[in-house]
Homo-oligomer: A and B are copies of this chain.
């Protein structure tokens, strides 16, 4: 149900192909609603059938043809109505690493997993930083927030950034605890 609105929200940024959306869902949208390309294509099909998006074929010369999708007025209205309703379900985190950590008996193995997570988090922060630069487009944050019509994308990006920063701080904390335990009984 929510994927539907995530797709509609993504199309607020303008016309896009399924492939382009799958790129967007790989970076910014992945922070709060991950989706695979297959999910997106299926959802776009449904949305088109329901008249919430409009599809148009684009013939291409040096690339495969594609379909570009745009929000219809009905889609825009549906999204607007969704946005002001309180969420039906609470936010959920699914993190396999934490299951492993919960069960872990071997501090060395735990250390390795945490290090890996930190590398990955730093990579993600780098990518967020690039998305942020593209959004701000040379302006300072204050300028952007004053000028821009829609602050939503920036605020959700901030959530992604603060999540990964906190993630890293927690990892440091875990490493400190584990350090005391390596070589211990």
Contacts and interface: CB of A to CB of B under 8 A. Distances in A.
A34 B91 CA distance: 10
Nearest to A184: B146
Q: Is the interface of A mostly helix, strand, loop or mixed?
A: helix
Contact of A166 (B83, B91, B166): B166
Interface in A3-41: 5-6, 8-9, 12, 29-34
B87 A104 contact: no
Contacts of A112: 86
A113 interface: yes
A12 B101 CA distance: 12
Interface residues of A, number: 66
Contact of A12 (B33, B80, B89, B103): B103
Copies in the complex: 2
The winner among A32, A106, A146, A158 for most chain B CB atoms within 10 A is A32
Contacts of A30: 92
Contacts of A92: 30, 34, 93-95
B174 A105 contact: no
Interface in A69-117: 79-80, 82-106, 109, 112-113, 116
Closest CB pairs A-B (n = 9): A32-B98, A91-B95, A87-B96, A166-B166, A9-B103, A84-B109, A102-B152, A32-B95, A83-B100
